[in-house]
Amino acid sequence: MTGKELRKKIELEVLPRVRKPGRYAGGELNAVVKDTAEVRLALCFPEVYEIGMSSLGFTLLYHYVNELGWAACERCFAPWPDMEQELRGRALPLYSLETFTPLSEFDIIGFSLSYEMTFTNVLTMLDLGGLGLRAARRPDSAPVVIAGGGCSVNPEPLADFIDAFVIGEGEEPLMEIMEAARRVKAAGGGRPEILEKIAAVEGVYIPSLYETGTGENGRCTVSGTPPAPYPVMRRYVRNMSNSYYPSKLILPSINAVHDRMSIEIFRGCAQGCRYCQAGMIYRPRRERDADFLIGNVKEMYRHSGWNEVSLLSLNAPDYSQLAHLLDGLSEFATPRRVSISMPSSRIDTFSEEVGEKLRLVRATGLTLAPEAGTQRLRNVINKRITDEEIIGAVASSFAAGWKKVKLYFMIGLPTETEEDVLGIAALIKRLTAVAGKKKSGRKRGKPDFTLSVSNFVPKPHTPFQWEPFEPVEKLFGKQRLLRSVIDRRHVKLDFHDPHRSAMEAVFARGDRRIGRALEEAYNLGCRFDGWSECLDADKWRQAFSRAGVDPADYAHTPYKPGSRLPWSHIDCGITTKYLLIERAKAMRGDTTESCIGNRCTGCGLDCDTND
C-alpha cells in the first residue's frame, strides 16, 4: 500500500470513527512534506498530538532536520486507545502525519522522551509501527530506533527496546547521526552499519555494546570497555546565543496545550535547586541573544498569527537581557494585540519593573513556586526565598491588578516534618490575608489562589538521587492534613496522585530490569499512564509481579552514596563529588548561591559563562 492509499483508507474508514480525528490527519500550515529524501527520520512523541506539538524540543528538531535538503523529518504521535483499536482492527500500521508512511519504512525512528509515564506509549508506537518491541530481535532491514530527551539521562528502563540513546541536547548529535546514516545508505548499508557508525558519535549510548553487572540492592548496573565509550558523556550546545531556532513553525490544526509562540530565552539554570533534574542536567546556563529572539518572534508571527508569545526558560528573571527583550517584544506585540507571558519565575529575582512590562498587553496570573512551606525546608532544597519575599510578590501583583495566583509546593521532600507541611497552610493564610486587604480608593476582586501540591520524586543526577520516595500512605496523610487546615473558600487545592508519583519514582530511579515490567504492562494493556483516567494500578501490579520486580523496593529503598547506580555510566558533566557536597549541605540546611554573579559553585562543568 502506498502512502496515498493508506491515507485514503485512514481518512475514509478510520478517522470518522475516532475521537479528535484532527490528531491523525496532518496537513497543517507550515508542515514540511518532502516527496523524496536520502534519509528519512520519523520523529515520534509518545503522547497525544496536543501535547507533543507543544514540546519545544520536538518542534525545534523537526524543523532543524528539515533544513537539510537531503533529509526528511516527519512526525508521529501516540494514538489514543480508540485509534489504536481502529488501526489494529484493520491491520493498519502507525504512520507519519506528513506522508502517511508506516514507521517501519523510515531509516531512523527518533523518540522524544520527556516523561517517564509515557514509556508504555513508546512500546505502542514501536509495535503498531511494525517494528517489534525488543531491539535485539529486529531484523537488519528495520529502521534504527533512537531516543533522546530529558528521560534519557537514565535510559535503562527502555534499554531493551531502543537501539541507541542520545544523551543531552539533540541538535548536534542528531545531525551527526543523520550524516552517518546518509553515508552508510549511499554505500548500500543498513541498520547494523548505521549503528556501528553512530557508536562513535559523542553522546550516543548503544546499550547492546555494554556489559551489565549487579550492584547494590541487586540493581543492574552497566559498564563498558573500549571501543564503547565509557562513561557516556552528555552533549550540549556550546554556543547558544545564535543557535538555530525555527521561525516558520507548524501551526497545530487542533488546539495544542501551548498554542502560542514559544521562545527559548536560555537553556540551563544557575539556581541550583536540589530536587530539580532540569536544573542539573541542562547546565551550564546559556543565553540566546535578545535581538535574535526579537527578530525571530517577528518572523514567527508573520508565519503563524499566534496571539501570544511565551518566554521559555527554567527561570526567566535570570535572563540578563530581559529588560531589552521585553522592550523589543512589546514594541512589536502591543500594537498587534499580542500578549507576552513568562511562566516559571523565582521570586527572589522577580522585579516590579518586569511585572509592569508583562502586564502591558494582557493581565495574567502570577505563578510562584515556593515548593516548601518553611524557611528551614526551603534551605534544604536550596530554594532561597523568604516568606517576606513571597508575600511581597503576591501583594505587589495584586496591587498591579493581577487577580490570580498559582502556587506550587511539594510534599515528601527529604527531612520534611509535619511542621513543614503545616507551614504551607500558614503561608497560604498570610497570603490570602494580604491579597484580600483593600488599598485606598481601589476595589479588589476576590483573590483567586490555586495551590498545586505534588509529591517529591527523587531524580537521577541531582543531589537527591540517593533519596527514597516517601511511602504512599504518608503522602496521603500529608494531603489529608493540608486539606483539613487550608480554608478552601479562597484556595483551590490540587493534589498529585501519590500512586502515580510512586510509579514515576520507579522509572526515574529504575534499572534495566524495569523494562521487563514495562513490557508486561504493555501486553496487559497499559497505555497513557500519565493520564489519571488511564493509569490502571491493578494491571501494573500484575505486570510487576509477572516480571519479578518489586516496585516498592525500587521506589523506597535509598541508594548508598558512593555505590554504583543504574545510571552511573551516564556522565552529565556534574561530578558526584559536587552532588554529595550539595547533599551534605542540604542535610545541614545550608544554601548554595546561584552561580550568576557569584563564585563558581564547582559543579564540575568546564563552563566559561560565569567567569
Partner 1 sequence: MTEDTRVPYRIRFARLWEARFISHLDLMRAFMRLLRRTGLPIYFSEGFNPKPKISYRTMPLSSGHTSECERVFFQLMEELPETEVERAFAAAMPPGLVLDSIRRVRSAKKDENPPKAMQYYIYFTDAADGIGERLLRAARDENVQMEVLDMETAAVAILLEKGDSSEFIKNTFPFAVSAATPVGNDYVRPDRIVEKVVDPEKIIIHYHRRKEIIRQSQKR
Residues making contact with partner 1 (CB under 8 A): 4, 8, 11-13, 15-17, 21-22, 24-25, 27-29, 251, 253-255, 259, 301-307, 336-337, 339, 362-363
Q: Are 519 and 529 in contact (CB under 8 A)?
A: no
CA distances from 463 to 172, 279, 583 (A): 28, 11, 5
Q: Minimum distance between the CB of residue 337 and partner 1, rounded to whole angstroms?
A: 4
Report the largest interatomic distance among the alpha carbons of the chain, rounded to a whole angstrom: 79
Q: How far is the CB of 8 from partner 1 (least distance, A)?
A: 8
Tell me which H or E stretch contains 193.
helix 191-198
Where do we find the cell 535574535? 292
| Three-state secondary structure readout of 441-453 | CECCCCCEEEEEE
Which one, 12 or 187, has the nearer CB to partner 1? 12
Q: Using the minimum distance from each CB to partner 1, give the nearer residue, 25 or 481.
A: 25
- Distance CA(321)–CA(319), nearest Å, equals 6
C-alpha to C-alpha distance for 11 and 254, rounded to whole angstroms: 16
| Cβ neighbours of residue 162 closer than 8 Å, sequence gap 6 or more | 111, 135, 145, 146, 147, 155, 207
Q: Report the residue number, 25 or 199, with the smaller CB distance to partner 1.
A: 25
The grid coordinates of residue 267 equal 537553556
In angstroms, give the least distance from the CB of 169 to partner 1: 30
Please report, as a single letter, which amino acid is at residue 7.
Answer: R
CB of 302 to partner 1, least distance (A): 7
Instruction: Decide whether 402 or 567 has the Cβ nearer to partner 1.
Output: 402
Buried b (16+ CB within 10 A) or exposed e, 72-110: bbbbbbbbbeebbebbeeeebbbbbbbbbbbbbbbbbbb
Q: Outline where 240-369 has alpha helix (H).
A: 278-281, 290-304, 322-333, 352-359
Task: Report, in Å, the least distance between residue 247 CB and partner 1.
Answer: 14
Closer Cβ to partner 1, 25 or 524, answer by number: 25
- Compute the least distance from the CB of residue 91 to partner 1, in Å: 18
Distance CA 373, CA 370 (A): 7
The whole-angstrom separation of Cα 93 and Cα 431 is: 54
* 19 versus 489: smaller Cβ distance to partner 1: 19
Kindly tell me which of 109 and 261 has the beta carbon lying closer to partner 1: 261
In whole angstroms, how close is the CB of 61 to partner 1 at the nearest point?
Answer: 23
Q: How far is the CB of 21 from partner 1 (least distance, A)?
A: 4
Q: Which is nearer to partner 1, 22 or 477 (CB)?
A: 22
405: left (phi over 0), alpha (psi -120 to 50) or beta: beta
For CA atoms 347, 351, 355, 358, the dihedral sign is: negative
Q: At closest approach, how far in Å is the CB of 317 from partner 1?
A: 24
Question: Of 22 and 231, which CB lies nearer to partner 1 in the complex structure?
Answer: 22
